[in-house]
Amino acid sequence: MSAHPRLDAALSYAASEWPVFPLWWPVNGRCACGKPDCQHPAKHPLGTLAPHGVKDATTDSQTIRLWWGRAPLANIGIATGPESGLVVVDLDPRNGGQPDRLPGPLPTTPTARTGGGGWHYYLAHPGDGLKFPPKLPGCPGADIKGGGGYVLAPPSLHVSGRRYSWDTPPTHILAPCPDWLLNAAKRPDPNPTVTPPAVHVGNHGTAYGRAALRAELTRLAQAPEGDRNNALNRAGYSLGRLVAAGHLPGDTVRGLLATVAEKAGLLPQEVERTLRSGMNAGREVHHA
């Protein structure tokens, strides 16, 4: 038995390109963090070393040596998701999760028994922008760790005192996700941008004016909350100049901007005021 079992394990995961970070560990059936009401005993990030939690997960051996040098008993979290190349199917029998209750069989792949008596099946993340739901639909007790999350890895200790251990070791090749699992994932939206509700700018004005109007409406529709009034002001200003230059009819511009702005959550009075000042400023610049 190694003198530094957790450090050695963390380093070996990192060598497989699985990013790791330190978690709290159990002491006498309680979380070592010391909080009497700890909600995730021996499962939450060790904030003094990894203040951003799973975002601090790394494969850098120097950092890993430093972390487990400072906290040799720290449990090991492995980051899941496209960045780490891992999807983990997490079966918890306490909630009904069982390998034979899944929509299909799981391939032979690195598999850990969890300290809670369940299973972690490590699978290759398909990438491609695929997004997995946190729970497998129709399968109670079956979670999918497919992005932004983490799993506890052997030889971490569960708060019950049981140790996470490998059934099929991580030296086994990582199997691809079976089709039934891929079917539960969401394909990325091929057109993720918010389509502004009123891109039908008609055939008023010049082609140049219409292109500018379409661009401004898109920008306004996508403006984050808190910047919408500014966005409306900027749009009113730049389109005001085009109205003054004869590229666009003022009524059309005002109507479309108001429609998009109100759909984006601005109040009609705000829209009216901002538009007037924006468009006036734009017109003045043109005439100056």
Positions touching Zn ion (CB under 5 A) are: 24, 31, 33, 38
CB 23 within 8 A of CB 81: no
Secondary structure tally for the chain: helices H, strands E: 7, 11
Quick one: 151 or 159, whose CB is closer to Zn ion?
159
- State the nearest-atom distance from the C-beta of 130 to Zn ion, in Å: 33
Compute CA distances 228 → 2, 21, 137, 216, 260, whole Å: 59, 39, 38, 12, 11
Backbone phi and psi for residue 231, each to the nearest 5 degrees, phi listed first: -60, -40
Indicate the angle between helix axes 207-222 and 228-244, nearest 10 degrees. Answer: 170
- State the nearest-atom distance from the C-beta of 117 to Zn ion, in Å: 21
Q: For residue 195, how far is the Cα from the chain centroid?
A: 22
Quick one: 24 or 68, whose CB is closer to Zn ion?
24
- State the nearest-atom distance from the C-beta of 132 to Zn ion, in Å: 27
Quick one: 27 or 33, whose CB is closer to Zn ion?
33
- State the nearest-atom distance from the C-beta of 26 to Zn ion, in Å: 9
- State the nearest-atom distance from the C-beta of 43 to Zn ion, in Å: 8
Closest CA to 170 of 39, 78, 63: 78
Quick one: 14 or 31, whose CB is closer to Zn ion?
31
Quick one: 156 or 238, whose CB is closer to Zn ion?
156
